[in-house]
Amino acid sequence: MDLVREIDFGTPASTSEKQVTLTVDGKTITVPEGTSIMRASMEAGVEIPKLCATDMVDAFGSCRVCLVEIDGRGGTPASCTTPVGEGMVVHTQTDRLNAIRRGVMELYVSDHPSAWNETPGTGASEFDKVAAEIGLTENRYGTEGRNHVAPGNGSLTIDYMVRDESNPYFTYDPAQCIVCSRCVRACEEVQGTFALTIEGRGFESRVSAGMHQSFLESECVSCGACVQACPTDALREKTVLEKGLPERSVVTTCAYCGVGCSFKAEVKGDEVVRMMPYKGGKANHGHSCVKGRFAYGYATHEDRILKPMLREKITDPWREVSWEEAIAYTASEFRRIQYQYGRGAVGGITSSRCTNEETYLVQKMVRQGFLNNNVDTCARVCHSPTGYGLGQTFGTSAGTQDFDSVEHTDVVVVIGANPVSAHPVFASRLKKRLRQGAKLIVIDPRRTEMVRSPHIEAAHHLPLKPGTNVAMLTALAHVIVTEGLFNEAFIRERCDWAEFQDWASFVALPENSPETVGGYAGVNPEEIRGAARLYARGGNGAIYYGLGVTEHSQGSTAVIAIANLAMATGNIGRPGVGVNPLRGQNNVQGSCDMGSFPHELPGYRHISGDAVRDIYESLWGVKLDNEPGLRIPNMLDAAVDGSFKGIYIQGEDILQSDPDTKHVSAGLAAMECVVVHDLFLNETARYAHVFLPGSTFLEKDGTFTNAERRMNLVRKVLEPKATYADWEATQLLARAIGLDWNYTHPSEILDEIAATTPSFAGVSFAKLEEMGSVQWPCNEKAPAGTPIMHIDGFVRGKGKFIRTEYVATDEKTGPRFPLLLTTGRILSQYNVGAQTRRTHNVMWHDEDRLEIHPHDAENRGLRDGDWVRLASRAGETTLRALITERVAPGVVYTTFHHPDTQANVITTDFSDWATNCPEYKVTAVQVSPSNGPSDWQEEYEELSRKSRRIEGRLEAAE
Amino acid sequence: MSHDEMHTSSTEEKLVRMANQIGTFFMSKPHDEGVAGTAEHINKFWEPRMRRQFFEIVDAGGEGLLPIVMEATAKIRRPNEHMTRAQAAEADVSG
């Protein structure tokens, strides 16, 4: 296998429909109008040397290497900034051009380490290649005089800057820099952070991070776009500097968030040297964030458990055993438990981090092997309300658009989501569109990075009180209906008019007016009205939302309210509009699609349907239970009550990620066989009797489905460190409980999914290899997949308007718990942090902090950085305060990336009325000064240490 | 229920709360539709042992349940008797 090389066309593609034909070095080529000569040449197979141009950013025209001659025109224009013209005759190789290029390169090289022969390049540098191609042989300028390269031979060298090693993943060596500003433009145009600039002028021009700071101290978010853009070794991955250039690469899909970026995993020997964003990836188009690009070190972290382990009691130390023994023990335990306590006493949890194929197998094992429907997935605790809400209104449980759609959006509404932190690569595309002039409305209790950042400012920020989403969304609808801003033609054609009228009469009630709602939600009514008018009449309106919508007692109602708004304004069924849930984990969409919910078979078909069960019963040769199974919180309730005794958990850490930790631990403690199948001894494993070592995304084949319903291939880069990929381990277990499974490759599992699920009928590994990726539904009607849904009508037929009455959560503030806690994420960490905490990403975020408004802090005598006690009616914990005006008075906020924070000791057992999705986003709390970790935290720490003991090994120092 | 006290809900309390939450959502619908919606939702999403516990509460007088939920009980399916051990064993062997 070789390195996957992608062509750099030098400048971005033109979207013009008008075609222009020209000749380059005798070759005729037709390209869209507005294409640069550089790009057209490359398309004709003629590569023009270049330094400051790359197709990820706009042309800049500074390096003077890409010059060409054009018949009938004087001079030597830069090919990157000169657009093609009809009938143009271009020459890229003439004596004159070669002489100019050599002259230019000689000047560059005269102030570059290559002239000093000090450090041989890494071989990754385009600069060295261009110098070689041009045939540069001499340096007439010598090494005397001012330069940026040498630390100086005893003389004062004001031009020399030492290498910046502050970022854990890449270095900046100013000596190598040719000030082409590709990094600055990548940071600006691709990433949208504007952390880099060129300071000084003339000879003093330097690339500078932040306010002349080190990269780590600056506002740089370490997305890697600058490193990717750099044509020299000035910005270079530390792994490449340490290990040398990779030898082969495999295109695969990132296993972090729901954006689902495509990467080239570049490997040397059996080690990943770097992850390079893949330009052919349709979710990310060659961009990345700090997690996907750099934070893969967990895959080889020493904490990874590579051998199966058993213990009879959770107070025993772990004992390493063979796969055979672990599997046989598990199978016999599950058999015993079912015999002793009944068929419904066991279940499984599928993982949103594992592949579709692995997820499918876990639910299949539960249904075919355990003969019940006790299977659930972590989407229960994040986007299950999306499934319910969009299913009810539109007829299918998925986002309506592809990410490219944002390029056609005029008004973006972001509700309860912070894409800059949680979906960074999509956020970059969103910000790019906003800089082009699209308007932004943010509905969020916090003033997130989305509200105001360089060159972006929300037209309206509605900083509502946590828990008032439904009231706010209904107030927006109130304005749209009462001010006549709805799209009657769309509604009459696509929706049920009578249902609309009923809904309209409901939202028009005075109690839903911005004036009333604004009063208790803490938002200026005029802002609500302004936002509603803008969304309804500002052109293409698109709603993006996250867990700030779903994780509430009215999460499903809020999703319905969002769908109502989109239907009422006709913002559905074309590019630039739609309802877009931003999914937390890489394969949340896929795990939901694959039948992970206890009431649904793959493709969202209810288990009570005879026809659907028939399909699987005839294929699997068993009689399926027609009753819905237990959801995760119900499993835990049943465990506490004594009727649920065994669970197989693949790639989830419910003890850390699920709310009301004390209840989760009580449920787990009551079970007789807890099987954790994971990379690490996670928090849940404290209560496990069997540990099966998992495989990372680098170690297996399969597919992930991202937030835009896009199925991307996950390709095996390395052999599984623990012998078996997760699908193989599940198969071993299934065979041990008596199922005759004989899958030899995940493609066979996908074939079974396609054969049994209409929305996936046209999907196969072969098709994904051929097309790169496919968005479901993919079947006879849509053989190439479906980028945008509901184009000619809704999946369910007519769009359904549903009343969304606001019901305040039972979780209310009072004298003892006067503040509202809401929770969220940060860019550098991912979910419960099991992966990112085991990488250098901790340099950006090594502890969870409690954000609190200065007024609330002052009332309590708190200073920034003080330890505080955070208590709710469910429990208490301690962490350090961060005083900030990002949160409103009365609201506090924290992340949940670190297990010792125990944020979920605080969260309650309240949940969404329709799906039991926990109400993470609203907890009444009190904050008071503290001296340090709570008794619970210290006790927990001690128990954690004990529970991780492995016989024959020294205790791991976590 | 006081919210200013540390409190752990029993499964019965949770079932009452969940049923009432469902009923509350459907109260915004026309009455008959709301009752039917409440029943359908519980039938579709509640595992039999949850429904069995729910009916124990209902049969004991339905303390704490909203009227719409009580009305819906006529349309909520009572779960069949749970599988016997012998059946489970049989399924296990044939599985």
CATH code for the domain of A48:
3.10.20.740
Of A529, A565, A526, A522, which is closest to residue A545 (Cα–Cα)? A565
Q: Any idea which residue has 């006290």 for tokens?
A: B5
Q: Any idea which residue has 């297996």 for tokens?
A: A700
The answer to whether residue A813 sits within a structural domain is: no
Contacts of B16 (CB under 8 A, 6+ apart): B57, B63, B64, B65
| Residue type for position A146 | R
pLDDT of residue A835: 86
| Assigned token pair, A339 | 């015999």
Q: Which residue does chain B place closest to A876, by CA atoms?
A: B6
B48/A627 CB distance under 8 A? yes
Question: How far is it, in rounded angstroms, from Cα A709 to Cα A211?
Answer: 41
One domain for residues A338 and A419: no
Question: How far is it, in rounded angstroms, from Cα A860 to Cα A434?
Answer: 40
A339/B85 CB distance under 8 A? yes
The answer to whether residue B72 sits within a structural domain is: yes
A637/B28 CB distance under 8 A? no
Q: Which of A93, A128, A152 is the last residue of a domain?
A: A93
Residue A374 near chain B (CB below 8 Å): yes
Q: Which of A44, A75, A93 is the last residue of a domain?
A: A93
Neighboring chain A residues of B45 at a CB cutoff of 8 Å: 599, 628, 631, 914-915
One domain for residues A707 and A672: yes
Which residue of A365, A367, A371, A934 to mutate against B (max B Cβ within 10 Å)? A371
A 41-80 residues with CB < 8 A to B: none
- Rounded to the nearest angstrom, the gap between the alpha carbon of residue A851 and the centroid of all alpha carbons in its chain is 23
- Rounded to the nearest angstrom, the gap between the alpha carbon of residue A652 and the centroid of all alpha carbons in its chain is 17
One domain for residues A449 and A573: yes
Kindly report, residue by residue over A57-101, the tens digit of the pLDDT. Answer: 999 999 999 999 999 999 999 999 999 999 999 999 999 999 999
Helix, strand and coil percent figures for chain A, each rounded to 5: 35, 20, 50
One domain for residues A531 and A402: yes
A803/B92 CB distance under 8 A? no
Question: How far is it, in rounded angstroms, from Cα A924 to Cα A822?
Answer: 9
The answer to whether residue A845 sits within a structural domain is: yes
A812/B49 CB distance under 8 A? no
Neighboring chain A residues of B92 at a CB cutoff of 8 Å: 335, 338-339, 738
The range of the structural domain enclosing residue A255 comes to 170-300
One domain for residues A194 and A336: no
CATH code for the domain of A519:
3.40.228.10
One domain for residues A870 and A844: yes
Which of the 8 DSSP states describes residue A899? Answer: G
Residue A513 C-alpha, separation from nearest chain B C-alpha, in angstroms: 17
Question: How far is it, in rounded angstroms, from Cα A218 to Cα A212?
Answer: 8
One domain for residues A200 and A283: yes
One domain for residues A662 and A734: yes
pLDDT of residue A154: 56
The answer to whether residue B26 sits within a structural domain is: yes
pLDDT of residue A558: 96
A 307-336 residues with CB < 8 A to B: 335
The answer to whether residue B4 sits within a structural domain is: no
Residue A875 near chain B (CB below 8 Å): yes
A814/B4 CB distance under 8 A? yes
Of A125, A123, A122, A210, which is closest to residue A164 (Cα–Cα)? A210
Residue A628 near chain B (CB below 8 Å): yes
Residue A580 C-alpha, separation from nearest chain B C-alpha, in angstroms: 24
Question: How far is it, in rounded angstroms, from Cα A892 to Cα A816?
Answer: 15
Residue B47 near chain A (CB below 8 Å): yes
Distances (CA, A) of A613 to A322, A626, B81: 37, 8, 21
Nearest to B88 among A343, A368, A627 (CB): A343
B25/A915 CB distance under 8 A? no
The answer to whether residue B3 sits within a structural domain is: no
CATH code for the domain of A663:
3.40.50.740
B47/A374 CB distance under 8 A? yes
pLDDT of residue A152: 64
The answer to whether residue B88 sits within a structural domain is: yes
Neighboring chain B residues of A918 at a CB cutoff of 8 Å: none
| Assigned token pair, A117 | 């022969």
Listed in sequence order, the DSSP H helices in A189-322 are 225-229, 238-243, 290-294
The answer to whether residue A564 sits within a structural domain is: yes
The answer to whether residue A130 sits within a structural domain is: no
Burial A581-592 (b: 16+ CB within 10 A, else e): bbbbbbbbbbbb
Is the pLDDT at B92 greater than 50? The verdict is no
- Ranges of residues in chain A with a pLDDT under 70 are 1, 117-120, 152-157, 954-958
Neighboring chain A residues of B50 at a CB cutoff of 8 Å: 630, 634
Beta strands in A570-627 (DSSP E): 578-581, 600-601, 605-606
Number of neighbours of residue A201 by Cβ within 10 angstroms? 7
Domain count, chain B: 1
B45/A817 CB distance under 8 A? no
Residue A791 C-alpha, separation from nearest chain B C-alpha, in angstroms: 29
The answer to whether residue B49 sits within a structural domain is: yes
One domain for residues A733 and A668: yes
A875/B29 CB distance under 8 A? no
Kindly report, residue by residue over A649-679, the tens digit of the pLDDT. Answer: 999 999 888 888 888 999 999 999 999 999 9
The range of the structural domain enclosing residue B36 comes to 11-94
The answer to whether residue A797 sits within a structural domain is: no
The answer to whether residue B41 sits within a structural domain is: yes
| Residue type for position A330 | T
pLDDT of residue A155: 59
Q: Which residue does chain A place closest to B25, by CA atoms?
A: A805
Kindly report, residue by residue over B11-52, the tens digit of the pLDDT. Answer: 889 999 999 999 999 999 899 999 999 999 999 999 999 999
The answer to whether residue A133 sits within a structural domain is: no
The answer to whether residue A788 sits within a structural domain is: no
A598/B47 CB distance under 8 A? yes
Question: How far is it, in rounded angstroms, from Cα A540 to Cα A572?
Answer: 9
Neighboring chain B residues of A368 at a CB cutoff of 8 Å: 95
| Residues recorded for chain B | 95
Residue B48 C-alpha, separation from nearest chain A C-alpha, in angstroms: 7
Listed in sequence order, the DSSP H helices in A715-873 are 726-736, 746-756, 765-771, 854-859
Question: How far is it, in rounded angstroms, from Cα A581 to Cα A709?
Answer: 11
One domain for residues A845 and A936: yes
When comparing pLDDT for A957 and B8, which is higher? B8
The answer to whether residue A136 sits within a structural domain is: no
The answer to whether residue B5 sits within a structural domain is: no
Q: Any idea which residue has 């516990």 for tokens?
A: B53
The complex's ipTM? 0.88
Residue B40 C-alpha, separation from nearest chain A C-alpha, in angstroms: 11
Domain count, chain A: 5
Residue B20 C-alpha, separation from nearest chain A C-alpha, in angstroms: 9
Which residues sit opposite A851 in a β-bridge?
A882, A893
Question: How far is it, in rounded angstroms, from Cα A295 to Cα A827?
Answer: 12
Distances (CA, A) of A92 to A30, A80, A512, A949: 17, 12, 67, 68
Residue B5 C-alpha, separation from nearest chain A C-alpha, in angstroms: 6
One domain for residues A407 and A452: yes
Q: What is the pTM of this model?
A: 0.92
